[in-house]
Structure 1
Amino acid sequence: MTSNDTRRGVILMLVTTLIFASQDAISRHLAGEYNTYMIVMIRYWFFAAFVCAIAGRQAGSIRRAAATRQPWVQAARGAILALEIIVMIQGFVFLGLVESHAVFACYPLLIGALSGPVLGEHVGWRRWLAIAAGFVGVIIILQPSGGVFSPYAAIPLLAAFMFALYGLLNRYVARQDTAATSFFWTGTVGAVVTTAIGIWFWEPMRGPDWAWMALLCVTGAAGHYTLIKAYEQAEASAIQPFAYFQLVFASAIGLTVFGETLRVNVAIGAAIIVAAGLFTFWRERMRARALAR
């Protein structure tokens, strides 16, 4: 069930972004060697097995973990996430890690802006100001006059919209279902969707890459679980600005591991985005202290 521990929600979001950034780096490596559909399918096989074990233990049994009064919403969010992962990895292939994340960084803006009309959460003018500042940072990164702004940018942009929808549905289902239930549906539905697609694209994988595949599976399971827990702890509009840190982590990995280039506009935009997130956190702390008096 949901709560309103903003500090814990922020910490969980930061952990999630670091895990996702590392996971995306592994995905980029594997996608450069093998078919994307197969990679995501294998990852979801492990994810589904892990989900059944964890969700069943937390809920008491798999049947209890699967029990929900909103099965269609749970199924929809699981399918949307699986398809979003496929789309985003394609973005890594065409744009690279840093530039894909630069475009994808707009998804927290979509969640923060829509959390009010869609979920009925309160979004004050200061939070709107932080969201607007983050949007300015994204525009600077995109550099509409050139740079990342190309037809390929539509790929991570589509992924951003899909992930924003997934994030909103996370908060929605958390009002009635536990993290164990949401986790179960995320893994099982995703496994069905990716298998229906990926089974037609199977190809042999070399021995050393199976180790990378195993690490991808572990990070995939861990990242989505911490994300679900983050939405349980705090309002979506309060923690979403901190999702921008995924851009920072992914850029660092892209620079050090893949030798990508960090352009000046990307650095400036990222700084604005991080500042907007920190401002939002500071405002939440001030508001919590005022209410406690």
Structure 2
Amino acid sequence: MPAPHATGGLLLIGAMAGFSLSDALVQLAGSGLQAVHLAWLRYALLLLSALPLLIRNPALARSRRPGVQMLRAAGLVGSAVLFLQGLKSLPIADATALVFVSPLYVTLLSALLLREPVGLWRNLPVMLGFAGVLIVAQPGGAGFNAAMLYPMLSSMAWAAAVICTRLLSGADSATTTMLYSAALGVVALSPALATADTAAVAARWPWLLAMALAWCLAQWMTILAYRLAPPGAIAPFSYSQMLWAAILGWLLFGQVPSARTALGMSVIALSGVMAAWMARRALKP
């Protein structure tokens, strides 16, 4: 693997660890706060981290497709709030695994909205990943928890944001997109602050700050990773988030993934590796 690809892969693995750490801190310190308040903290810190770039280059605030930027931000905010709501009732590993059904929704929306060709060969890893999600969720089975619907709905909102990201390709820079997502996220979530438990925030602010900081750093590491290496080369490393989630859930809360969850996570990760391999083969002359 070329050096930039290796660096990008390591950065993406680190980003996935950051996301999982942030989620673990939500369960550790965010039990008394609503999901919208936790999401606001994340987006507020992300916006603060991006403001120096805007001050240096005000042109970053101009978007060629502001409407699409707003739709993308709405999808991301909805995804974040739904996932955080799910974390209140689910082990971290289960919630994380269920979110990885998003490639299925991305494929379906790509076919419906972008008219991208969808064949059986391309759908194979997507369907395999969906099978892994069904193993974890066990709909209709004794292991099913209604809270599992939150991360699954979160993945739908995330897929909508991914489609918007594709529509923005070539129109706006990654930094402009990050600025819009952070700013619109703060604006959309700020009205909910009227119902925030200020006493709970004051009592837990070091943990909540660490939660938002881990998420913010993970966002920037993800951007840097994909600037250094093409998605097809490093995308499978994003599935390391499931491993990080399982490790942190076990270390911090004694949440040992069940055999069903471990099997489902393995199937989901295999589907991601397969999809990346197929994408690389398609790019070869």
- Give the shorter-chain TM-score range: 0.7 to 0.9
Distance 1:37 1:283, change over 3 A: closer
Q: Secondary structure, in 3 states, of the residue corresponding to 1:95?
A: coil
Task: Check conservation: 1:38, 1:199, Cα contact below 8 A.
Answer: no
Alignment match, 1:177: 172
Query: How far apart are 1:148 and its partner, in Å?
Result: 4.3
Question: Does residue 159 in structure 1 map to residue 158 in structure 2?
Answer: no
Distance 1:10 1:271, change over 3 A: same
Task: Check conservation: 1:55, 1:180, Cα contact below 8 A.
Answer: no
Distance in 2 between residues matched to 1:238 and 1:126, nearest whole Å: 19
Q: How does 1:104-183 map to 2 (within 5 A)?
A: 104-119=99-114, 125-183=120-178
Kindly provide the CA deviation profile for residues 204-236 of structure 1, in whole angstroms up to 9, marking residues without a partner as x: 24667322222222222233334456677756x
Alignment match, 2:31: 32
Distance in 2 between residues matched to 1:272 and 1:179, nearest whole Å: 31
Q: How does 1:239-254 map to 2 (within 5 A)?
A: 243-254=238-249
Amino acid at match of 2:26: S
Query: How far apart are 1:176 and its partner, in Å?
Result: 0.8
Distance in 2 between residues matched to 1:228 and 1:77, nearest whole Å: 16
Query: How far apart are 1:90 and its partner, in Å?
Result: 1.2
Distance 1:147 1:227, change over 3 A: farther
Task: Check conservation: 1:28, 1:89, Cα contact below 8 A.
Answer: no
Alignment match, 1:89: 84
Amino acid at match of 2:180: W
Distance in 1 between residues matched to 2:282 and 2:122, nearest whole Å: 12
Query: How far apart are 1:130 and its partner, in Å?
Result: 1.3
Q: How does 1:93-104 map to 2 (within 5 A)?
A: 93-104=88-99
Question: Does residue 189 in structure 1 map to residue 184 in structure 2?
Answer: yes
Query: How far apart are 1:72 and its partner, in Å?
Result: 1.5
Distance in 2 between residues matched to 1:6 and 1:176, nearest whole Å: 25
TM-score, structure 1 normalization: 0.82
Task: Check conservation: 2:40, 2:186, Cα contact below 8 A.
Answer: yes
Alignment match, 2:66: 71
Q: How does 1:43-82 map to 2 (within 5 A)?
A: 43-57=42-56, 60-61=57-58, 64-82=59-77
Q: Secondary structure, in 3 states, of the residue corresponding to 2:63?
A: coil
Q: How does 1:279-290 map to 2 (within 5 A)?
A: 279-288=274-283, 290=284
Distance 1:84 1:13, change over 3 A: same
Query: How far apart are 1:18 and its partner, in Å?
Result: 2.6
Gaps of 5+ in 1: none
Amino acid at match of 1:278: V
Task: Check conservation: 1:108, 1:243, Cα contact below 8 A.
Answer: no
Amino-acid identity (%): 25
Distance in 1 between residues matched to 2:240 and 2:108, nearest whole Å: 18
Distance in 2 between residues matched to 1:115 and 1:209, nearest whole Å: 42
Distance in 2 between residues matched to 1:250 and 1:226, nearest whole Å: 18
Amino acid at match of 1:193: A
Question: Does residue 274 in structure 1 map to residue 273 in structure 2?
Answer: no
Distance 1:280 1:218, change over 3 A: same
Distance 1:140 1:95, change over 3 A: same
Query: How far apart are 1:259 and its partner, in Å?
Result: 0.9
RMSD over equivalenced CA pairs, Å:
3.0
Kindly provide the CA deviation profile for residues 23-69 of structure 1, in whole angstroms up to 9, marking residues without a partner as x: 11112222213343333223322222112223444xx22xx111012
Distance in 1 between residues matched to 2:26 and 2:7, nearest whole Å: 28
Distance in 2 between residues matched to 1:198 and 1:215, nearest whole Å: 19
Q: Secondary structure, in 3 states, of the residue corresponding to 1:204?
A: helix
Distance 1:147 1:230, change over 3 A: farther
Deviates more, 1:47-56 or 1:113-122: 113-122
Amino acid at match of 1:245: S
